[in-house]
Structure 1
């Protein structure tokens, strides 16, 4: 099922539209207020600058004050009820804003801005914590991609609509009031259609002290090292985005010699690019949480931000500023359009898998609080990015030089995060290798248990078999592999990071063999998936060799369900032993070869043994070795 089919499902669609309409209203209100202050009121330039800089601070302040409490509420109570209260609060805020717009009451509008910050703060933990309750694990990446796409497009349309409506001659304030109230009401109606999402920690004792609860939430966020570093990655994304987006107006005006329409075009390119990248994540990840896309996203952000710097400032022609059509007609514009769009695309590759990873890895009874901790860190990094950008401006940095600084800092942060959590880099290497060398079709992945222990058994054709399975199984698995394959240079990093279990024959190294069986049992006892190749080595002739009794020993000690699997189409590849048997050079003759992975239904341990499993795997493989 395509991710777009979720837009026709009640368990997702009403929530999607509720969050998108909320994002639209946040930005429509803010941009309308800025437009009113800048163009509708006769204020000194100093006052305009003060209000325009005060507005983001007031909006982000609630994230520091109320995120921890919002995380508790999302765990303690049924989420849909909170969403509806939040949307009613939004209607009230927009009614106050309507009077502020018509009467030009700036203090009231700034108060409403603070209220909208509260609205987003309370909604934030629910926004991402509700998805694992509403979606299947295989839908999590696609659902996050749709949410990110909807948010980006809603922000873009809201920013443009707020400015355009406020500029309607004579009636801009009234139309702005009607627009924001109307959208808030529609958002509330959509929220009434969201199915119930039960509390994940109904016995949680609420702590209303914002300081102590913030510290506790940050402590919970730090408990899982991989999750915390994913949170840091998300927060860095906000730092990078804030630094770049804050300088786009000046970039459009000075470096591109453009008017306001060029700035709008720049925003469109970035937002549409991010939406495209977010939607592509499902296809590129094979509908699983594929954190291997994160290093790819980080690489793209650096490359295309760096290219914006290398392009240098445009040569001004001495005429009036260009509109967006004149800009696109310029010979050098294609490179800028490509850079800005691809920064957006790689932003999607970067942030969507991180959110999905946090959702998939965090226990449901603390996910909302982890998201709240993420929001606190996001707000902190946004403030730091704003101050850092201001410092660079005061030091005389041009906008392209700011982009260079962002690109170089991104390299440093990416290396730091991927060093702390090698799993990100391991997944990238696996994803890149497998998707470069093969075209893989997976059949029966729904048979893989979504939780709990299981023993996976598969035929063994090539040295690439574990990588192919790693890249396509919906859940992480511990692979039992011959110790000499485990120690292959370069791939050893991948196997070690994936916590593969090396094994040797009794005559080769009894100690490695004994430890392998102990590690397998321990992994199954913890509810993990363990994958073994019962043939004991690569096939030498393309046929399935007799399954060894080790599988019986594992099941006798730990009788877990067994999932038979088969790989098709790998015999004769450069990584199989066919060329060794024929004494030919190991040269790839089928680049991007078609390979199939077939997953059968789980079988009770009592119903199978080595011989029975061999017959099952043989039947799954068929005649295509």
Structure 2
């Protein structure tokens, strides 16, 4: 399928057939899941005698466990099916299955059988299990890389809005108590979701010869093995699973937190859930603007900071004494309640910053042939982490922790997990530093960035203004770049940590260290053969006067050994910064002004057979113009 090169807002995807039917089907599915789960729990809680003798608290946990269990058992097979067959047809088949499942639920409501209703809930969990790999696997097939963040943001926003609306609708339906109305609503939502799925365009199977393994444990292992193919992807999946651990730990405590700590009624639980879900939706949508329509994993550390800060603040915001059975209006008017509501909303916002780039990263860096199996592995680990979260909460409360203390523990644990992940993958921290640099220290004007190919190898060349050039270019480019860097700059304290994190390639003059010199060229050739981007500063040193110096011939050896397109670029606006050599004395190197404008211009590609030192230097000079 052709993917148009739109640079418009993420909301324009809703006007396109490649996205809208899929978006409608998945949002209606999430809506129906939450309507059914919550109606079931509310009716069985408040009309227990009509349905079961089971304790309502036990029923709530049994229902949650039955819904999650299929993700553990069947996600492996679900991932294989979505890779083996057309994902659009898989989505349609799964949405079609939702209708008879809701028919079974209708029968359960009619005869007041909790066993039938729990069976239907298990089948809904299974339906969601088979939906997830195709759902997230279809996005990279119909969206450009520049649309991945926006597309994932829309999906996450739609999901959490559906959760809120489904919860509210369930409350209204349960309060009305009309079984026919409940049944008609569930069947109507299922039918609408199926009809929406029929408009999803046909896609080619990713791995048409893949053999489906129907054994849960071996298919699960196959999915986990596919996810472990890329270390960065696997750690991103662990990050996503941690978010669901964090969310499960926080959200599961809301009813008791509201009742026993805040003194609020059921209405207050709904208000807190709405604030959280609205926050996730808002954070997800903001991701596209903050990331510049590219997969910006620098937002992930930003998100993790907020998840810790506002969970900890929620602990300190909790009142020492609460009212009794406060309505939503009474709670909102109570002193200190605004801080609690803001904390819940901001936990959601930073959760959106955290999870959307991780989903987009998994989709961007996973081979198409194994995409759905990797998403299946993600579903498995998500479910496992949520079960562990439930177990940890039970142990903590049994050990005497209060609910506010459990929320505090969640925030502190999040900080330790984040530090551990970023120590394993410094790229996350590097991108965060780069993101801060171009959003809070400078204003980066990117021109011609579309000239950098979305796929395939290329040699990027740029003038060398300051020590932060590589970080600025890395932040501006939608793809990872391996930078060839003078060893003396590579070894600068503090900056060396960032350069190692971005896997820069140090090079030294052949007369000083021939081994490092040759190793650099071998590494560059290997990276280009693997289809990656490599950037070189052909001047070989920082400019001493702000002008573009003569280009060295090293890049010509690269092109001779590995002929690839050459992308000329120019940087301007950094000469007057603390990162340049304009100011010789160290004490003069402080920021002259914040949020200064810097410009990165990217020119059209030059074929390797037409490239020479003089021509390429002239291209860079023309791109930069008189600015320094």
TM-score, normalised by the number of residues in structure 1: 0.96
Which of 12, 17, 23 is equivalent to 1:10? 17
Partner of residue 604, structure 2:
601
Which of 90, 103, 106 is equivalent to 2:98? 90
Matches within 5 A, 1:348-359: 348-359=352-363
Alignment partner of 1:315 is 2:317: no
Do the aligned residues in 2 keep the contact of 1:25 with 1:183 (CA within 8 Å)?
yes
Do the aligned residues in 2 keep the contact of 1:6 with 1:13 (CA within 8 Å)?
yes
Matches within 5 A, 1:58-137: 58-137=66-145
Secondary structure, counterpart of 2:591 in structure 1: coil
Alignment partner of 1:274 is 2:317: no
Partner of residue 52, structure 1:
60
Which of 347, 362, 368 is equivalent to 2:366? 362
Query: 1:373, CA displacement in angstroms?
Result: 1.0
What are the Cα deviations for residues 335-384 of structure 1, in whole angstroms up to 9, with x where unaligned? 11121111111111111111111111111111111111111111111111
Q: 1:590 to 1:167 in 2, by over 3 A?
A: same
Gaps of 5+ in 2: 1-7
Partner of residue 457, structure 1:
461
Secondary structure, counterpart of 1:530 in structure 2: strand
Query: 1:71, CA displacement in angstroms?
Result: 0.6
Matches within 5 A, 1:380-529: 380-529=384-533
Give me the whole-angstrom Cα distance separating, in 2, the residues matched to 1:45 and 1:390. Answer: 23
Query: 1:84, CA displacement in angstroms?
Result: 0.9
Do the aligned residues in 2 keep the contact of 1:551 with 1:609 (CA within 8 Å)?
no
Partner of residue 28, structure 1:
35
What are the Cα deviations for residues 244-282 of structure 1, in whole angstroms up to 9, with x where unaligned? 100011111222221111111100111011111111111
Partner of residue 232, structure 2:
226
What are the Cα deviations for residues 469-503 of structure 1, in whole angstroms up to 9, with x where unaligned? 01111111111111111111111111112111112
Do the aligned residues in 2 keep the contact of 1:455 with 1:531 (CA within 8 Å)?
yes
Alignment partner of 1:153 is 2:161: yes
Query: 1:510, CA displacement in angstroms?
Result: 3.3
Do the aligned residues in 2 keep the contact of 1:430 with 1:494 (CA within 8 Å)?
no
Give me the whole-angstrom Cα distance separating, in 1, the residues matched to 2:61 and 2:590. Answer: 62
Give me the whole-angstrom Cα distance separating, in 2, the residues matched to 1:47 and 1:571. Answer: 70
Give me the whole-angstrom Cα distance separating, in 2, the residues matched to 1:215 and 1:584. Answer: 57
Do the aligned residues in 1 keep the contact of 2:318 with 2:340 (CA within 8 Å)?
no
Range 430-439 or range 486-495, more displaced: 430-439
Query: 1:46, CA displacement in angstroms?
Result: 4.3
Secondary structure, counterpart of 1:587 in structure 2: coil
Query: 1:583, CA displacement in angstroms?
Result: 9.9
Matches within 5 A, 1:251-330: 251-317=257-323, 320-330=324-334
Partner of residue 561, structure 2:
557
Give me the whole-angstrom Cα distance separating, in 1, the residues matched to 2:554 and 2:426. Answer: 31
Secondary structure, counterpart of 2:445 in structure 1: strand
TM-score, normalised by the number of residues in structure 2: 0.96
Partner of residue 617, structure 1:
620
Partner of residue 191, structure 1:
197
Q: 1:69 to 1:584 in 2, by over 3 A?
A: closer
Give me the whole-angstrom Cα distance separating, in 2, the residues matched to 1:315 and 1:573. Answer: 53
Query: 1:41, CA displacement in angstroms?
Result: 4.1
Gaps of 5+ in 1: none
Partner of residue 540, structure 1:
544
Secondary structure, counterpart of 2:569 in structure 1: strand
Query: 1:584, CA displacement in angstroms?
Result: 8.5
Give me the whole-angstrom Cα distance separating, in 1, the residues matched to 2:277 and 2:551. Answer: 53
Do the aligned residues in 2 keep the contact of 1:270 with 1:341 (CA within 8 Å)?
yes
CA RMSD of aligned residues (A): 1.7
Give me the whole-angstrom Cα distance separating, in 2, the residues matched to 1:551 and 1:405. Answer: 53
Give me the whole-angstrom Cα distance separating, in 2, the residues matched to 1:292 and 1:442. Answer: 18
Do the aligned residues in 1 keep the contact of 2:10 with 2:154 (CA within 8 Å)?
yes
Query: 1:314, CA displacement in angstroms?
Result: 4.1
Q: 1:558 to 1:316 in 2, by over 3 A?
A: closer
Give me the whole-angstrom Cα distance separating, in 2, the residues matched to 1:333 and 1:64. Answer: 38
Do the aligned residues in 2 keep the contact of 1:257 with 1:314 (CA within 8 Å)?
no
Give me the whole-angstrom Cα distance separating, in 2, the residues matched to 1:325 and 1:12. Answer: 39
Do the aligned residues in 2 keep the contact of 1:256 with 1:314 (CA within 8 Å)?
no
Give me the whole-angstrom Cα distance separating, in 1, the residues matched to 2:350 and 2:491. Answer: 33
Range 264-273 or range 536-545, more displaced: 536-545
Give me the whole-angstrom Cα distance separating, in 2, the residues matched to 1:601 and 1:103. Answer: 70
Give me the whole-angstrom Cα distance separating, in 1, the residues matched to 2:472 and 2:395. Answer: 48
Query: 1:446, CA displacement in angstroms?
Result: 1.4
Range 419-428 or range 300-309, more displaced: 419-428
Give me the whole-angstrom Cα distance separating, in 1, the residues matched to 2:380 and 2:618. Answer: 55
Give me the whole-angstrom Cα distance separating, in 2, the residues matched to 1:436 and 1:460. Answer: 22
Partner of residue 530, structure 1:
534
Please list every run of at least 4 consecutive aligned residues from structure 1 whose deviation after the TM superposition is greater than 4 angstroms. Answer: 43-46
Partner of residue 344, structure 1:
348
Secondary structure, counterpart of 2:176 in structure 1: coil
Which of 214, 230, 238 is equivalent to 2:244? 238
Which of 592, 595, 609 is equivalent to 1:592? 595
Give me the whole-angstrom Cα distance separating, in 2, the residues matched to 1:485 and 1:583. Answer: 16
Secondary structure, counterpart of 1:441 in structure 2: strand
Query: 1:518, CA displacement in angstroms?
Result: 2.1
Secondary structure, counterpart of 2:484 in structure 1: strand
Give me the whole-angstrom Cα distance separating, in 1, the residues matched to 2:62 and 2:589. Answer: 65
